[in-house]
Amino acid sequence: MNNEIRYQNKTIRYRLNGWKTSAAVRLLLYAALAALLSFAFFPKLVPPTYDLKPGSIADKTILAPRQEVDAAATLRAKDAAVQQVQPVYQVVGLNNEALVDTLFDKLNQINADAEVKFEDKVSIYRTVLPQIVADHHARSVKTFRSSGAYSDTLLEELDRTIADQAYRIPEEAFFKFPRLTKEDLAAMQPVARDIVTKLMYDELQQVQSARAKVAELVSTSNLTKALSRELVQEIIRVSLSPNKFIDTRGTEEARVKAREETKPVYVNKGDVLVKRGDLITEELYKRLEDMDLLKTQSNYWPQLGLVLLSGMMVTFLYMYHRRTKAHIHDTNTQLIMLGLIYVLNIAVMKIIAYGQTDIPYIGYLAPTAMGAMLITILFDGTLAFGSTIVFAIIASVMFNTDPALMFDFRYGLLTLVAGWAGIFTMQKASQRSSILKAGIVVALFSALAMLSLLLMNDHVAENEILLTLAYSFSGGLLTAVLVIGLVPFFEALFGILSPLKLVELSNPNHPLLRKLLTETPGTYHHSVMVGNLSEAAAEAVGANGLLCRVGSYYHDIGKTKRPSYFIENQTNIENPHDRIDPALSKSIIVAHARDGVEMLRDYKMPKAICDIAEQHHGTTLLHYFYHKAKQQAEGEGREVKEEEFRYPGPKAQTKEAAIVGIADSVEAAVRSLRNPTMEQIDTMVHKIIKSRLDDGQLSDCDLTLKELDTIAKTLNETLLGIFHSRIEYPNEGAS
C-alpha cells in the first residue's frame, strides 16, 4: 500500500514538473528569445511605414531608411548638364586666298580682251564674279564630302551659312571693274590677298564683322588710286566667308555624353525626405513609395531579414547552451531565468537609448554588463561570455545614432569590455561586496576602452571626452548597483542559490550553525567533515560543490532537538537507545530529517538546502534498530516489516542530495573504525555506494555508474588526507 502511494505521488510530481524538461516548452522559450531579439532590433533595422496620401500633410519628419537613387533629382541633374553643354563648332578652312587669285585672274583676262565692249564686260562681271564665288565654295564642299573629313550635317550647315551670309557686289562696281588697268590689278591683288588672309585667320561665325574692318585695312595699304582702293574692298568682301560652323551632330553627341556622365543623385540614409508639416505632393508620394515607406505597400523583406538575424543568433545560442556546464539545455526553469535576465538587460538598455535624442553620449551610461554579471553569478562564466557577445550586438544596434550605419562598433566594444571585465572579476566572488568591487573594475575598463577610442580621434572636443568618460565610468557603478539589487530577486523567485548566497549561509555566525555548534558539537564536527567530503566528490563529477558543502552543514540540523539520541553527541553519557524500544528509537532517529526541514523552512532557507536535509537519507533502512526489533519480535512471535524501519524519504532527487547522503554514511562509517587502513576505507566506501545503489536510493537522481566510481575514488583520496595520521600502512610504519 505504501509503495503504491509513493508511486502515485511520484507520478503526480512528475506530471506537475514535466514542463521543466519538455522539448516543446524549450522550443517556445527559444522562440520567445528570438522575438525578444527582434523587438530589440526592430526600431533600428526595420524602417517604419507611414499612412500618407497625395495632398495630405506629414505629421512627422520622415528620414530615408537607406541609400537610393533619386530618379527625379537625377533626371533634373541630367537635364541641367545638357543645358550647360555649349554648341560645338567646327572651323573649316575654305582657302579664300585661292578665291582672291581666281577673281583677279578673271579680271585680268576680261580687261585685257580689247575686242569685248565695255557694256559686255559689265554684263560679264555681273554674272561671272558671283558664279566664281559660288563655284569655289561648291568645290570646297565637294572635296570635304569626298574626303569624309566633316560630317554631312556640318557641310549642310556650311552651305546654308555661306549662302545666308553671301556678299552682293554693288551694281556700280561692275561698271568700274572694266576701267582697271593691268598695273592696277597687279597692285591690288597682293593687298587683297594679305587682307583676306589676315581676316580669315580669326574664327568667323558672322562674317559681317570682318567685312566691316576691310575699309580700315585697305586705307592703310600702299594703294594710292581711289578706284583701286574702292574696288579692292569689294573683291575682299566677296572673298570673305564664315569659317566657324555649328556642328549639330557633335553638339548632340556632347549632350548625350554629358547626360551619360552625369552621376546619379542619391538620397542617403538618414536624409530628410519629408519634413513635418510638408504637403505630400505626387513627387514626394512617389519617392516614399520607391523607398517602401508607405503602409499600403507589402514589402516584408526587412522584416524577413530581421527574423533571419534573430533566428540565427538564437540558433547559435542554442548550440552554445548545449556545450556549457550550466545545464541550460536540460532545465527549462533555468532557460526562463536566463530569458528574464535578457529581458531586464535589454529593457535597461532601451530606457537609456530613449534619452539619446535629448542627452548626447548618454548611451555610454547604459549598464550593459549587468546581464553578463548576473549570468556569471547565477550560472557560470562560460555562459556569460557567449551572452555578452549577444548583448554587444544588441548595444551596437540599439545605441547607433548614425543613420548611415546599422551598427555602431563603439557601443559593441564598450559592452564586450565591460561584460568580460565583470565576468573575470565575478568568477571568484565570495561576498556581495565583491559585486561592488566588480562594478568599479567594470567602470575603469569601460572608461579605458572609450579613452582609447577617443585618443585615436584627433577631432574630439574636450567636453565630449569628459562626458564620454564620465558616462562610461558611471555605467560601471550603475551596473554594480543593479546587480546587487537583482541577485536577491532571482534567488527568491527561482530558488537559486548563488555562490554569494551559499557563502553567506556557510558563515559560522548564522543562527542555525551557532545552535548546531553549541548544542550538538559532535554533529557540527560531523557536518563539517561531510561538507569536505561531499564538496570534493561533487566537483569531481561536475556537480555544485559549494552547494554540497553548505547543504552538509545544515543536513543534520534536526538533531538539535534531541542531541543526546545521536551517537556523535554522546560524550561520557549512556546511550539512551539501550533503554527504549527499537521502534521508538527509529521514530526519534528518522524524525531528525523532518525536524531539520521544518527548522530550515522556519528560517526561510533556500529550497535546495531544505531538499538536501530531507533527502540525504532517502528511504534507507535503519539496520541496527531493525535487527534489534526483529530479534525481540522472534521471542514474542511477532513479525517485523522492513518498511517500518525505513526513513520516509523522499529519495535523493539531485546529484547534490545523493552525494551528501553518500558522504554522510561514509563519514559516519569510517569514523567508527579504529585506525582505518586504506584497504578498509576503500572497502567501506564501495560497500556503502553499492548498498545505496542496490537499495534503489539513487534511482531518482541522474548519477551514472561512471560518476559513482569517480565519487568513490574522490572520497577515498579525501578520507586518506583526513585520516592520514591514523592510518596503518601494511609493512610500513605510520607516516
Write the CATH number for 576.
1.10.3210
Confidence (pLDDT) at 442: 93
Q: Is residue 565 included in any domain, yes or no?
A: yes
**Cβ neighbours around 496 below 10 Å, total:** 20
Confidence (pLDDT) at 90: 84
The mean pLDDT of 631-648, rounded to a whole number, is 78
Q: What is the pLDDT of residues 587-597, one digit of tens each?
A: 888 888 898 89
User: 340-355: string of b/e by CB count within 10 Å (b at 16+)?
Assistant: bbbbbbbebbeebbee
Question: Does residue 444 carry a pLDDT above 90?
Answer: yes
Q: Is residue 300 included in any domain, yes or no?
A: no
Confidence (pLDDT) at 709: 93
For 268-358, strand residue ranges (E) read: 272-274
Confidence (pLDDT) at 661: 93
Residue with cell 585697305: 218
Q: Which of 450-459, 586-595, 603-612, 636-645 has the lowest mean pLDDT?
A: 636-645
CA nearest neighbour of 349 among 426, 423, 253, 415: 415
Cα 420 from Cα 385, distance rounded (Å): 7
Question: Does residue 3 carry a pLDDT above 60?
Answer: no
Q: Which residues lie closer than 8 Å to 717 by C-beta, 6 or more apart?
A: 536
Q: Please, which pLDDT band fits residue 730 given cuts at 50, 70 and 90?
A: very low
Confidence (pLDDT) at 724: 54
Return the percentage of the chain with pLDDT > 70, whole number: 92
Highest average pLDDT, of 91-100, 153-162, 410-419, comes from: 410-419
Question: Does residue 380 carry a pLDDT above 80?
Answer: yes
Cα 296 from Cα 279, distance rounded (Å): 19
Q: Is residue 295 included in any domain, yes or no?
A: no
Q: Is residue 303 included in any domain, yes or no?
A: no
Q: Please, which pLDDT band fits residue 637 given cuts at 50, 70 and 90?
A: low
The C-alpha R_g of the chain, in whole angstroms, comes to: 53
Top pLDDT among 457 and 337 is at 337
CA nearest neighbour of 386 among 420, 428, 417: 420
Confidence (pLDDT) at 538: 92
Return the percentage of the chain with pLDDT > 90, whole number: 21
Q: Is residue 556 included in any domain, yes or no?
A: yes
Confidence (pLDDT) at 14: 45
CA nearest neighbour of 667 among 555, 539, 528, 562: 528
What is the domain range of residue 693? 506-726
The answer to whether residues 541 and 485 belong to one domain is no
Confidence (pLDDT) at 278: 81
Question: Does residue 321 carry a pLDDT above 90?
Answer: no
The answer to whether residues 356 and 470 belong to one domain is yes
- Bond preceding residue 650 cis, omega within 30 of 0: yes
Q: What is the DSSP letter of 1?
A: -
Question: Does residue 8 carry a pLDDT above 70?
Answer: no
Q: Please, which pLDDT band fits residue 17 given cuts at 50, 70 and 90?
A: low
Cα 333 from Cα 327, distance rounded (Å): 10
> CB–CB of 697/661 below 8 Å?
yes
Confidence (pLDDT) at 2: 47
Q: Please, which pLDDT band fits residue 373 given cuts at 50, 70 and 90?
A: very high
The answer to whether residues 640 and 518 belong to one domain is yes
User: Terminal CA-to-CA distance of the chain, rounded, Å?
Assistant: 55
> CB–CB of 439/476 below 8 Å?
yes
Q: Please, which pLDDT band fits residue 7 given cuts at 50, 70 and 90?
A: very low
The mean pLDDT of 129-141, rounded to a whole number, is 88
Question: Does residue 544 carry a pLDDT above 60?
Answer: yes
Last residue within a domain, chosen from 495, 518, 542: 495
The angle formed by the CA atoms of residues 46, 52 and 56, to the nearest 5 degrees, is 150
Cα 478 from Cα 488, distance rounded (Å): 17
Confidence (pLDDT) at 463: 79
The answer to whether residues 519 and 466 belong to one domain is no
The mean pLDDT of 604-620, rounded to a whole number, is 89
Last residue within a domain, chosen from 216, 246, 276: 246
Q: What distance lies between CA 683 and its chain's CA centroid? A: 58
The answer to whether residues 344 and 475 belong to one domain is yes
Q: What is the DSSP letter of 641?
A: -
Q: Is residue 350 included in any domain, yes or no?
A: yes
Q: Share the mean pLDDT of the chain.
A: 84
Q: What is the pLDDT of residues 187-240, one digit of tens each?
A: 999 999 999 889 988 888 888 988 899 999 988 888 889 888 998 898 999 889
Q: Is residue 68 included in any domain, yes or no?
A: no
Distances (CA, A) of 617 to 94, 170, 293, 601, 714: 123, 140, 68, 18, 21
**Cβ neighbours around 118 below 10 Å, total:** 10
Last residue within a domain, chosen from 246, 272, 304: 246
Question: Does residue 723 carry a pLDDT above 70?
Answer: no
Top pLDDT among 267 and 617 is at 617
The answer to whether residues 476 and 597 belong to one domain is no
The answer to whether residues 477 and 539 belong to one domain is no
Top pLDDT among 498 and 315 is at 315
The answer to whether residues 524 and 469 belong to one domain is no
Q: What is the pLDDT of residues 259-303, one digit of tens each?
A: 888 898 887 777 787 888 888 887 777 777 777 677 765 667 777
Domain count, the chain: 3
Q: Which of 30-39, 166-175, 486-495, 655-664 has the lowest mean pLDDT?
A: 486-495
The answer to whether residues 475 and 331 belong to one domain is yes
The answer to whether residues 404 and 469 belong to one domain is yes
The answer to whether residues 473 and 531 belong to one domain is no
Q: Please, which pLDDT band fits residue 477 given cuts at 50, 70 and 90?
A: very high
The mean pLDDT of 499-525, rounded to a whole number, is 87
The answer to whether residues 412 and 535 belong to one domain is no
Q: Which string of DSSP letters, residue by residue, matches 40-98?
A: HHHHHHS---B---TT-B-SS-EE-SS-EE-HHHHHHHHHHHHHHPPPPEEE----HHH
In the structure grid, which three cell numbers stand for residue 454, read together? 577617443
Confidence (pLDDT) at 417: 94
